[in-house]
Structure 1
Amino acid sequence: MSRTLKVVAWAGTLALATLIAWVIYLADTGQSSVFFQLVRALPYGDKLGHFCLYGLLTLGANLVSGGRVWRCGSLRIYWGATAVGLLASLEELSQAWFPSRTLDITDLAADLAGILLFSLVTRYLLGVTRADPG
């Protein structure tokens, strides 16, 4: 990956992670945002938001980590996707402790679907043989 693409991947991934953290903070504290209004205005906006945000974060994390993978049997799983999947799972499960939030398994399913699709996009962008274990 070129140096310019690496810088763009890092900057974009950090910006997106910051946006996601801010949205989570607003939701956890019961505050409102223009993002929440937009999500409510779109059919399936909440699920689409989960899918896109965590999917794009996965793409960035996979690129930033250089496409590194770990093996689970014959599966090669990106470290970036693993990190985002753990983060999404913990965030969704943590909603059980916030009165302003609702634990919703379909949100987690949308997160995981985005992570899976954008991992496949990563595979296409980097090439199947590029990612080495370890």
Structure 2
Amino acid sequence: MKKYYTLLSILAAAFILWVIYLANAGATSVFFSVRQHIPFGDKLGHFGLFGSLTLLVLAATNGKSVGVSGQRYYIGSLVILLFVTAEEISQLYIPSRTFDVFDWLADVAGILGASLVYKLALQMRTNRTL
């Protein structure tokens, strides 16, 4: 099952990188058109894309975590958080892009939401096997 989640994670990351490439190049895409017709479509897209990627990566890595200042954090969530932060900041230097802190907040909300869903699913699975 881990191989399945790993493959899905790679495919999801590749899709996201492709969408970022299109946006950086100033290209048009059906994805960009659709989001304009949905209220908060851009923010929902950020939330959904990075939330989904986070959930897949957490499943692929079996929720490996690291301790920081007495707290445990999923490594997959931290890696995706670093990526989205770097990607959003990079928009300050790309003429065809517009930096928007609310896009970053939607990314972070997706990452946090997926991390919580993963943690709750683990707890439910653990409680059922006891």
Query: TM-score, normalised on structure 2?
Result: 0.91
- Is 1:99 aligned to residue 78 of structure 2? no
Name the residue aligned to 1:16.
12
- State the one-letter code of the partner of 1:127: Q
Work out the CA distance in 1 between the residues paired with 2:121 and 2:75: 16
- State the one-letter code of the partner of 2:69: G
Work out the CA distance in 2 between the residues paired with 1:14 and 1:127: 26
Shift of 1:74: 3.4
Work out the CA distance in 2 between the residues paired with 1:71 and 1:53: 26
Number of residue pairs the alignment of both structures matches? 126
The two structures, once aligned, show a CA RMSD in angstroms of: 1.6
Secondary structure class of the residue paired with 1:70:
strand
**Structure 1: segments with no counterpart, 5+ residues:** none
**Percent identity over paired residues:** 42
Name the residue aligned to 1:51.
47
**Structure 2: segments with no counterpart, 5+ residues:** none
Shift of 1:11: 1.8
Shift of 1:48: 0.2
Aligned pairs for 1:1-134 (under 5 A) are 5-127=1-123
- State the one-letter code of the partner of 1:68: K
- State the one-letter code of the partner of 2:85: S
Q: Residue 2 of structure 2 contacts residue 61 of structure 2 at CA under 8 Å; is this kept in 1?
A: no
Question: Which structure 1 residue ranges, 4+ long, deviate > 6 Å from structure 2?
Answer: none
Secondary structure class of the residue paired with 1:43:
coil
